[in-house]
Copies of this chain bind each other. A is one copy, B any other.
Amino acid sequence: MATKNQASGGVSRQVLADHVYEALLVALMDGRLEAGTPVSIDGMARELDVSPTPVREALARLEATGMVRRMALRGYRVAPLFSPEELADLMDARLVIEPANAFMACKHADPQLTAQLEQAIEDLKAAPRGPSFAEFRAYWEADERFHRLIAESAHNQFLLSAYNALGGQVQRFRFFGGLGVTDADYAIAEHTEILKAFESGDPELAREKMVEHIEGVKQRSQHDSEVRS
């Protein structure tokens, strides 16, 4: 058969558990798996037409991201949505990590990085902002890309791990669901300020602008929480 095994090189054969992991992630972000609902191993295996073994492995990995919770002998369930207080805590944690990322990344800034950051801002401007999943997915992707670029450019694998551990990007994505993007104009302006700091090569300014940005996000998310409730 040789269906698609490394014919083009680099595309190593995929493991079923990876597919299951991706499918679960999309289902979570899409809202098909609502917060609190149990995720049956056998049931998910039937639904995806695979055996329970890969599902079990995918869920074990997902648990580390905080998207699902596991209770021994009682299975997995989708983690509950954040309360406004937890959302504030998330922003406080981002306020600890991301300004440090910006400071360090700015010290390594080069034209390629600033170009990529600028591209992310442009994509942010161009993205639609509707309330449905398909609409704000592009917006979310550009926003996430901006912050991740900075986190990766700090060149510190541990800070990157810490950034990933927040899982804030995905959770925030879930939060958007049914609400849509409400702070695009502010976010674009603040991202641009951060980019300018990078272009001027001023790490302290980059840190400062990142603080201002996340504090803005925190305030606006609190406001959105009130609107939602």
Mark A residues whose CB is within 8 Å of B: 12-15, 18, 53, 56-57, 60-61, 63-64, 66, 72-73, 86, 89-90, 92-94, 96-97, 100, 156-159, 161-168
B residues less than 8 Å from A72 (CB atoms)? 12-15, 18
Q: Do A96 and B97 form a contact, CB below 8 Å, given A13-B72, A14-B72, A72-B12?
A: yes
The residue from B14, B60, B161 contacting A166, defined by CB atoms under 8 A apart: B161
B residues less than 8 Å from A166 (CB atoms)? 158, 161-162
Report whether A89 and B13 are in contact in the complex, using a CB–CB cutoff of 8 Å. no
Copies of the chain in the assembly: 2
A89 to B219, CA, bound (A): 32
9 A–B contacts, CB within 8 A, in A order: A12-B72, A53-B56, A60-B61, A66-B161, A92-B158, A92-B159, A93-B156, A94-B158, A161-B166
For A61, the closest partner residue in chain B by CB is B60
A72 to B86, CA, bound (A): 35
A13 to B74, CA, bound (A): 11
A61 to B162, CA, bound (A): 17
A24 to B175, CA, bound (A): 37
A58 to B118, CA, bound (A): 42
A64 to B166, CA, bound (A): 13
For A100, the closest partner residue in chain B by CB is B96
6 more contacts with CB within 8 A, not counting A12-B72, A56-B57, A94-B158, are A13-B72, A15-B73, A60-B60, A93-B161, A161-B165, A161-B167
Q: Do A159 and B15 form a contact, CB below 8 Å, given A57-B57, A165-B164?
A: no
